[in-house]
Structure 1
């Protein structure tokens, strides 16, 4: 595509994770296994929550939303990575690249806000138990999820529109294994100042601010536990132990986001693309295990479901 004397890039070439043939096949098997485990695990959580009325509580409402987000988030990048691991040439059309950027900057911030809402839920459960049902009523939790989605949509539209205004005249090699803003801006032959400012501003809005709110929530939780007598403290500490899965996910997710997006795009390197595997692939895969295997309600629901199927099969009944 030409504009004046400039030849604009119509498709990009992705660097990928490796050029070694044997390693590419190994990575394909690993990524495929991780993707299947993540999709089955996350959709399994959603199905258990929907089917078991005991799990129709605020905590599992947020967990179901998180599982759906993780499944969609991985599906935005991993299938394309799997294709490119086996393809001789890793090309991606310009419009497909913008589409991937839109969903990346829509789903990841939505997860950031959702993790913050889950921290507020733990605060309400531990620090305000008498007002818990009011603070976490259906209208409140639906509103938190909806506002999170709208803020994430504003973030995605801003970045996608600004990226669509960039011109790409020269090199088309994206030093990443999927399309993202920092490596893409390095290739632009036009000014990226507006993109850099928007990336910094929204990184504060969707990453730093929510992370600060999570920290504040847990400071209040710890202060509430330390300020009560020993007998009650043991019960509160047991409740606080249920926060550890959430803290583990928050640490992994936010830690890698800060390292990638709160820096100038010119400093982006190939090593940073490997770091994004943590929040783009590993975190969504681990979430079902982190939240479910240590949760007695989820394990109980799973045992009930398996027992129900066993009884049905034993009686030669059609229960599916």
Structure 2
């Protein structure tokens, strides 16, 4: 028994790929409020997975997914020879999980990759706190850095989301595709995180939206296109008056939506910076661009087309210069 725990200890410190590929979903809970509590939970979960692996408790079926996780404050470089990453479990897992490491402060873990395939079709189990678990293709937290080029990211199934980024994490997608077929979002950025889409194509079915909140930033650059069925880009400070404002920077790119919600919406200290952008809203309800409650709206050039309202402004500051608005 004593030797078993020695083996388990070695595995838990990262000396086995079993933890990375099978147990990634067990060591991450983006809804945890306490960093200390999350560390304890991660340590216990990693140890449990290590013991199970050492004893041979994982079945071939359980290893069908290829989950990958990095949480070691190192830099990892991946290429197209990397096997597709996937997660189909019913809990809140992720195909790719990257996290910083707690030392005196959080030390970032960096992953760069070219030609990667990342997909999830999981989620749906009952959450003891209410609702259902949602799985992610990519999950980042604690100052993680992820830079992908020519990546193909896909979600299928109701309880799936493309990207979750928290705690000052940074994501860059260049010349990539993000295909969303689930109901729980293109991405959620919170607690000071940042995502940059550079020449990237996003297509989202159902009501999936991009949520930018709690001091986070979304940059949509260089001809990127975001096509939303019923969703929107929602930029908001957070749930309380003390939450920091969030930002959308959208130069030389396009966003469209056919839903009843406004295509782009800023609320509670949001900053919307649209430069030579094309915004299209094809529903008679809602607006192409909506600024609410102390939002700062800056539109320079570009084209805004709406079957409903073009630009809706409520209790916010707005500057519109040289834009063409058809509504």
Task: Identify the TM-score tier after normalising by the shorter chain.
Answer: under 0.3
TM-score (norm: length of structure 1): 0.20
Q: Per residue, is there more strand in 1 or in 2? A: 2
Q: Which has the larger radius of gyration?
A: 1
Between 1 and 2, higher relative CO (CA 8 Å, sep ≥ 6) is seen in 1
Q: Per residue, is there more helix in 1 or in 2? A: 1
